[in-house]
Structure 1
Amino acid sequence: MKSHFIPYFNRIILTLLMLISSFTVVFAQTRVSGVVTDAKTGQPMSYVTVSFAGTGIGAGTNAQGRYAISTTDDVKKIQVSFVGYRTVTRNIISGQEQTINISLTEDNHSLNEVIVRSGKKKKYSNKNNPAVELIRQVIAHKKQNQVENYNYAEYKQYERMNVSLSNLSDKFRNKKIFKNYQFLFREQADSTAIGGKTLLPVYQEEKLSDIYFRKDPYAKKQVITANKQVKYDENFVDNNGLKSYFERMYQDINIYDNNVSLLSNQLLSPIADNSPTFYKFFITDTLKDQQPNLIELSFTPRNTNNMLFEGRIYITMDGNYAVQNAFLTVNKNINLNFVRQMQANLSFEKNPDGRYHLSQSDLKIEFGINKEKGGGMYGERLVNVSDFVVNNPRPKKTYDGPSQEIAVNADDKNDAYWAMARPDTLDAASASIYKNIDSLQTIPSFKKTMDIATLVLAGYKNFGKFELGPANTFYSFNPVEGFRARIGGRSTTELSKRYYFETYGAYGTRDEKFKYFLSSTYSLNNKSIYSFPQNYIRASFQHDTKIPGQELQFVQESNFLLSFKRGVNDIWLYNDIFRLDYVHEFSNHFSYSLGLKKWNQTPAGALVYQNLLPNGVINNVDLLKTTELSAQVRWAPHERFYQGKLYRTPIPDKYPIFTLSYTQGIKGFWGGEYNYQNVIGNINKRFYLSQFGYTDVTTEGGYLFGKVPFPLLDIHHANQTYAFQLQSYNLMNFQEFVSDHYASIFIDHNFNGYLFNKVPLLKKLKLREIIDVKALWGGVREENNPANDPSLLRFPTNMGAGGVGTYTLGSTPYVEGSVGVGNIFKLLRVDLVKRFTYLDHPGAPEWGIRFFVKFDF
């Protein structure tokens, strides 16, 4: 009996195994992935529909042409289709995972179906237009389709930014100067989807981050867990500034925002609330062979010169009216400088609740001085989002603190870590750039080239531990000193990262006097004092000349070009200034500084200090002595800048900058002769107004407590050069107005060509119209007015032939305004300036023409 039972049992087991095997076949998953490319160009194709033939299961390719589809159904083929291309069908093996790459060829037969008819072209209208009705549905559903609609969201993000020299000819590559750099060209030659140009990578940055979002109270924090960046010699390049500059150029593109920031400008989103006013929309395709069904909606600017996109978006027809894919570019006529080509690809994934989130963005821009030919620069920023989780609240501390944090060991990740962490594989050129740039900087000829570039652009000649400069101050002239020769320099990080020294010496041929400057700085955080965040103590002494009330921006006072001034320019001071300063910046861009200043000033040129003695005799005062303690706090949230050799060059953005300063004059301390307190507050902000351009606004107010002579009052910033200065009064004379209390506003509005773009002839010139208004309210209290107290220094009046005097503001504010034309030759701005008030002052100009050189996109 036992012998009969065993075969029977074996048959049962065999039957069960066969049943399990059959179920495995039935329910096994078929997964197909690959890349779809254009057969002619070899470039990846976005938004191509890939589906299992005979089913509604499919997906579109992403920005890199990649796709991945899967099913448990019994399927035999996949189908690949795209408008204007031949549909391709490929056999697959059911129940297996497989990779199938596909090349699509253009469907030339479609040209035979074109029928040309004569007749009047139908005028585009929003009325009764199904494309416009569709975009209005998208706009109405925007809020529900944004990440900000969730109470909580978190995800992982990978970013990669590449910057390369582009369109390099063989003639350029074979020049003698590049003899030692051929390894770069050989290993890193590449081509791009937006131009097919040969590239030479020069910069790359990668970041891995954890992003946490909270709706109420609003918080969005990025925790950078890994970071890798190409770095150049600090003596030549500000690596952090370079990083900030590129990140500002290649920002996140959120199509759900009304305005999209691009290259310091804002372009109206095609799904902005008022987009039908500025765009034309067309339904160009319906994709029914994938789920959800999609409608391809193409759009173009009504005015091709305006700051607008063109391209196409793919709208889901599942009731969400969400954007699943978007392809954005710009018209060749757009009033955007130096941009040869721009392309942004956005892909969105569906969440379990049916809404969508951004899964990938790929922004490519190529720049060039000449838009049609010649060498240029190409950059690409790729962002991948993964592990998207909604409504999973974290502890409160997760969202608190600055919006961006960097993990302690973020910069220490090795190549093996990055190879595992990247969502894709780097091409050969990108993989070798870190090593190649390091090798490049060891080549003597490259160092020499960078040395020459630094001298030309920044004005400093590097000698290792010391650098000479700035070159543009070596020679200048003015009415007091005559011809002025100056030479100076400073130490570099090669000498020390903690100790810095700076000096210069100058001599005037007319006054025959030597001037000099000495400073010593100690860094408290073992970083360069020119690196952010700064934390240092500096002691300095200066014996030199100065113009009262001159406030220069991003330029030295002894710059040769500023020697040329309008009107009478003979109001000067000789100064002896000792300063002791402490500066402490924080990573959230809050900073404070403390200072001690001993200042001895002597009038020079036509300037005289005089008061009236009790016996009625005029007394000449040759020296004023003050000792001050000062404190300043500054907050610049999200500030970005490039740290040059002399100044930080701000990268404009929408965030305000707040500054509050306090100064305490102390009588009897270290020779100080006056007690006073001075409080000054300043707010600076840029307002973006979409298609109407942007407005830079600066407001400032100050109040001085105490009794002081007029040289210690607030001397308002005047400008007697021919350069247009945004933060100075361009038709005010030096030391023309003083106040002990004042309020001011500076408004500079750039229309970005909004008006000129509508004029047929002007729009080809890509000019930009500008309006500027400056107003100043102020006055001097009776206790500080020498008319009420003869012991105070008298206001100078009509000094010398044709000279000007010093005045107080009355009930009427000082007002000047200008209309300007910018973007002349893409660099020059010219303003016609008019002064509206106080025209009765001697030497007060009513009109003037001023020039401003500005590199802008």
Structure 2
Amino acid sequence: MRATTWILLFFSAYAFAQHAVSGVVKDADTGRPLAFATISEGKNENRITDVDGKFTISAKTRINKISVSYVGYQKKEITLRGEKFVAVQLSSALKSLDPVTLHQGQDPAIGIIRKAIASKSANNPQQKLRTFQFKSYNKLIVTANPDSIDGAIDSVFIRKSDGSQIAKPDSSSFRFKKLISSQHLFQMEKVSDFQFSGRRLKETVRGIRMSGFDKPVYEVVAFNLQSFSVYDNKYELFETKYNSPIARDAFSDYYYHLLDTVAVGGRQTYLVYFFPKRKYRKTGLQGLLYIDCENYAVAKAVMRLKTVLDVTATHEFEYLPDEKIWFPTNKEFKIVKGRNDEDIKILGETFQFDADGTDKKRKKQSSDFTYLQSKSWYFDRQYNQRVTISRSSVTMHVKDDAVHRTEDFWRQFRKDSLDSRSRQTYIALDSIVKKEKVETKLRIGRRLINGYVPVGAIDIDLRYLLSFNNYEGFRLGFGGVTNDRFSEKYRMEGYTAYGTKDGNFKYNIGAAARIGKFSNSWIGGAYTDDVREIASTSFAIDKRVFKLYDPRPINLSTFYAYQSWRGYIETRIIPKTESIWQLSRSVIEPKFSYIYQVDGKNYTRFNMTTAMVSLQWNPFSDFMQTPTGKIEIEKRYPKFTFQFTKSLPGILDNDFDFGKVDFRTEYQKKYLNGQKTAVFLEAGYAFGDVPLTHLYNTSPNSLTKDKVLQRLTLAGKNSFETMYFNEFFSSRYVMLQLKHGFNRVTLLRKVRPSLVLVSRMGWGDMERPEQHIGIAYKTLDKGYFESGIELNQIFKGFGLSGFYRYGPNQLPRFEDNISVKLSFILDFGI
């Protein structure tokens, strides 16, 4: 009986035993490992090699044969005779994929891709299905393979001043291997509900867990590693958009080659290899498309980018017979270090790379083995049922309780069980982050970038500390605003400043209360006693931008003083907008020689009671709602800003009846080669009785000096660099700016300027010019034109620019039309 029991146990164990084969795949010519090569065994699921070309494949029966394939290499079949480890070398097959021989019509892949493009609307779930919804579990890790790291303690040789060398032990690799053997470097888990209806796809995050953080970094949560759909004309990979291999115009960017026909989910598919044409070779996508032989839908896709980083994104699908469509089941993203000619510096840390096409050898660092992997599983899928999407204006909504989920919640939805390394990651990083106060440093860093220094419950505003202009002289001040440590429902703010030249104090004090959390709505009031540049266009909704210096005010000398009460409501209740609705009463006093005549009466000081709405609309951007507020996670252009101001006659001694309409739009286009085009358009129209203080000067930035070098100052942003201060005023105007920036060019090792071509033009007119007495000016009725070149970041952020004024307002002396400016760009390396 006892023997029988042992025999039964033996055969039971044998029945459930897994036969496994491990190995490594390398390039036969170079010996370099091939990451993400495909390993298949019979009818079992395919496996993909890791970043070091290593793999393990298992089955319930003995494995007799495996096949190994990799894009651009000859497929190889290996017969096994009991081996547990195999080293596979693949020979290049790229000679058969020579772009010169792949003309349209010669390769059958061309016809297949044409049919796939023509069938997109019939195969795209977001076009064929009325609605769908599913749950998703995502796991993201930053880690390394311990087996790939040499843990030996080496020596580092240091040369002394007398020429001798000493050796010091280098245990960095040893420590890194010990660390990575027990845990990952970073880990995040996320559980979400996805809903699609009315051409909108929304993600609601029900649970989020980020190693080391009590409150997750929401910008990381929103980071878009890869597109959800492979059918979009622009495929997004690692926050960069590329022309899709099945876009309408894909044949202008890609070559295609039919490799094989393979079975996916029981259906035959064409295996098509695509790769960029020669001009896009360094920046374009390459990869594999599995195209259904019957309906020409995408049954699987592998998108790859091989540059400084080696990025691979995989999309897998399941065929739904009832809907006759391939629907996504999971997606995976991997990123490792690629190859480049030079080291790259990011946030102060230098990353080294092997040079392309050379035999340069160096000892590999820990960053050579580190990789990021993200995988998502889709489950509980439902199709063509009634779906109600609440608050559809946000693309991603993180629930308030998402960061407080219990372990029972994670066990319920987790599709990839946590191994010992994953469990230890949470324990270790939670301890390290708390010990090193990482969250506190992150909070301080975020505020510093925006110009604040948090001190307890108050954020001190750095922009008030010191500035200079020709009217106030040096302006010394102090100001700040309360933060969430003070209250999440109330805030107070204020500042005070003193001008060393005008000898006056200025100040502001205000308070507000939040009346809506989702819309981030605030109601508040403030009083201000300060000075402002005359005729300056100001949009109240503009976000506060911190600069180490603000170049234009340095040269300003004409200001007006104002004492103003205002009550306002800030809100984002209108989808994809931010707005301020305001009532104000101001006393205005020009600080220059000026008289404004209205109906025979002269004004040197006047009262204004106005109502204003200022609104910024970003219709193409995506937003994420978090427990702490709304974040613009995907900035898209164009963006639009509107502002309407109307005086209220007869209220609180208002002197004038007038209105102002202001408009601005911005557009940017980034190219795969690193270049960028930007368009900026601004216009304004003032009607009624409007004093010069509140008209338009179109942002001049040049001094009235005889010599070019005497006019050498700092360049502004979106300002006319050859236009003199107070030279032109308008009651209606339009300004257009065109910029095109090229890649940085290396002249010397540390001299790498960025070339930008700039053209600006403006038109304007003045209604009732006879009302304005005391200041001489011209109008822009004939137009104003300037063009120039910016050489930015020549050295340590400093640059130089030159502009030339031409057209109807060109000045008689040639040198008066030239402006040379210094520039400075603060570069954080991100």
Q: TM-score scaled by structure 2?
A: 0.72
2:594 corresponds, among 609, 626, 636, to 609
Which residues in structure 2 correspond to 1:261-272 (within 5 Å)? 261-262=236-237, 265-272=240-247
Are 2:335 and 2:371, in contact at CA under 8 Å, matched by a contact in 1?
Answer: yes
Aligned residue identity for 2:106: N
Structure 2 partner of 1:506: 497
CA 1:673–1:162: 2 relative to 1, 3 Å: farther
1:664 is displaced (CA, Å) by: 1.6
Q: Does 1:635 align with 2:613?
A: no
1:313 is displaced (CA, Å) by: 0.5
The worse-fitting range, judged by mean Cα deviation, of 725-734 and 498-507 is 725-734
1:231 is displaced (CA, Å) by: 9.7
Which residues in structure 2 correspond to 1:408-807 (within 5 Å)? 411=402, 413-428=405-420, 431=423, 439=431, 442-443=434-435, 446=438, 449-450=441-442, 453=445, 457-470=449-462, 473-525=464-516, 533-550=519-536, 561-562=549-550, 569-586=556-573, 588-604=575-591, 607-610=592-595, 622-637=604-619, 639=621, 653-654=635-636, 656-686=638-668, 695-719=677-701, 727-749=718-740, 771-781=757-767, 784-786=768-770, 792-794=771-773, 796-797=775-776, 806-807=777-778
Distance in 2 (CA, whole Å) between partners of 1:249 and 1:598 is: 46
Percent pairwise identity:
19
Are 2:508 and 2:526, in contact at CA under 8 Å, matched by a contact in 1?
Answer: yes
Aligned residue identity for 1:576: Q
Aligned residue identity for 1:340: L
Distance in 2 (CA, whole Å) between partners of 1:116 and 1:420 is: 50
1:666 is displaced (CA, Å) by: 2.7
Structure 2 partner of 1:26: none
1:509 is displaced (CA, Å) by: 2.3
CA 1:277–1:340: 2 relative to 1, 3 Å: same
1:382 corresponds, among 361, 375, 387, to 375
SS in 1 for 2:379: strand
CA 1:293–1:450: 2 relative to 1, 3 Å: closer
Structure 2 partner of 1:144: 122
The worse-fitting range, judged by mean Cα deviation, of 625-634 and 744-753 is 744-753
Distance in 2 (CA, whole Å) between partners of 1:63 and 1:114 is: 19
1:485 is displaced (CA, Å) by: 2.0
1:219 corresponds, among 196, 199, 224, to 199
1:105 is displaced (CA, Å) by: 3.3
Are 1:225 and 1:407, in contact at CA under 8 Å, matched by a contact in 2?
Answer: yes
1:362 is displaced (CA, Å) by: 1.8
Which residues in structure 2 correspond to 1:156-167 (within 5 Å)? 156-160=134-138, 162=140
Which residues in structure 2 correspond to 1:286-301 (within 5 Å)? 287=262, 291-301=266-276
Distance in 2 (CA, whole Å) between partners of 1:444 and 1:430 is: 21
The worse-fitting range, judged by mean Cα deviation, of 819-828 and 307-316 is 819-828
Q: Does 1:82 align with 2:81?
A: no
SS in 1 for 2:251: helix
CA 1:785–1:491: 2 relative to 1, 3 Å: same
Aligned residue identity for 2:332: D
Structure 2 partner of 1:206: 190
SS in 1 for 2:352: coil
Which residues in structure 2 correspond to 1:241-252 (within 5 Å)? 242-244=217-219, 247-252=222-227
Are 1:833 and 1:850, in contact at CA under 8 Å, matched by a contact in 2?
Answer: no
Are 1:654 and 1:688, in contact at CA under 8 Å, matched by a contact in 2?
Answer: no
The worse-fitting range, judged by mean Cα deviation, of 442-451 and 481-490 is 442-451
Q: Does 1:107 align with 2:88?
A: yes
Are 1:769 and 1:819, in contact at CA under 8 Å, matched by a contact in 2?
Answer: yes
Structure 1 partner of 2:708: none
CA 1:142–1:79: 2 relative to 1, 3 Å: farther
Are 2:534 and 2:692, in contact at CA under 8 Å, matched by a contact in 1?
Answer: no
Structure 1 partner of 2:314: 345
1:557 is displaced (CA, Å) by: 9.1
Aligned residue identity for 1:372: Q
Give the unaligned 5+ runs of structure 1.
Answer: 1-29, 53-57, 92-101, 172-181, 192-196, 333-338, 787-791, 798-805
Are 1:299 and 1:312, in contact at CA under 8 Å, matched by a contact in 2?
Answer: yes
Are 1:33 and 1:66, in contact at CA under 8 Å, matched by a contact in 2?
Answer: no
Structure 2 partner of 1:814: 784
Structure 2 partner of 1:6: none
1:49 is displaced (CA, Å) by: 3.1
CA 1:229–1:744: 2 relative to 1, 3 Å: farther
The worse-fitting range, judged by mean Cα deviation, of 146-155 and 416-425 is 146-155
Structure 1 partner of 2:208: 228
Distance in 1 (CA, whole Å) between partners of 2:613 and 2:778 is: 29
Aligned residue identity for 2:465: F
Structure 2 partner of 1:803: none
1:520 is displaced (CA, Å) by: 1.7
Distance in 2 (CA, whole Å) between partners of 1:707 and 1:673 is: 9
Residues matched between the structures, number: 732
Structure 1 partner of 2:106: 129
Distance in 2 (CA, whole Å) between partners of 1:460 and 1:707 is: 40
CA 1:742–1:303: 2 relative to 1, 3 Å: same
Distance in 2 (CA, whole Å) between partners of 1:322 and 1:506 is: 66
CA 1:543–1:704: 2 relative to 1, 3 Å: same
User: What whole-Å deviation, never above 9, does each CA across 1:531-554 have from its counterpart, x for those lacking one?
Assistant: x74211222222233323556898
Distance in 2 (CA, whole Å) between partners of 1:587 and 1:432 is: 45
SS in 2 for 1:362: strand
1:595 is displaced (CA, Å) by: 0.8
CA 1:481–1:416: 2 relative to 1, 3 Å: same
Structure with more strand by fraction: 2
Structure 1 partner of 2:301: 326
User: What whole-Å deviation, never above 9, does each CA across 1:300-351 have from its counterpart, x for those lacking one?
Assistant: 333466674343204346233443333323232xxxxxx5332212223223
1:780 is displaced (CA, Å) by: 2.2
The worse-fitting range, judged by mean Cα deviation, of 647-656 and 149-158 is 647-656
1:302 corresponds, among 266, 277, 287, to 277
Distance in 2 (CA, whole Å) between partners of 1:280 and 1:50 is: 30
CA 1:667–1:287: 2 relative to 1, 3 Å: closer
Give the unaligned 5+ runs of structure 2.
Answer: 1-14, 27-32, 70-74, 153-171, 338-344, 354-364, 703-711
Distance in 1 (CA, whole Å) between partners of 2:120 and 2:57 is: 26
Structure 2 partner of 1:15: none
Aligned residue identity for 1:636: N
Structure 2 partner of 1:839: 810
User: What whole-Å deviation, never above 9, does each CA across 1:576-622 have from its counterpart, x for those lacking one?
Assistant: 33322111223833444321223333334xx4213579999xx8x65
Are 1:666 and 1:673, in contact at CA under 8 Å, matched by a contact in 2?
Answer: no
1:722 is displaced (CA, Å) by: 6.1
1:479 is displaced (CA, Å) by: 1.9
Are 2:212 and 2:434, in contact at CA under 8 Å, matched by a contact in 1?
Answer: no
CA 1:143–1:540: 2 relative to 1, 3 Å: same
SS in 2 for 1:416: helix
CA RMSD in angstroms comes to 5.3
Aligned residue identity for 1:778: G
Are 2:733 and 2:764, in contact at CA under 8 Å, matched by a contact in 1?
Answer: yes
Q: TM-score scaled by structure 1?
A: 0.70
Distance in 2 (CA, whole Å) between partners of 1:766 and 1:128 is: 45
SS in 2 for 1:561: coil
CA 1:366–1:135: 2 relative to 1, 3 Å: same
Distance in 2 (CA, whole Å) between partners of 1:856 and 1:305 is: 25
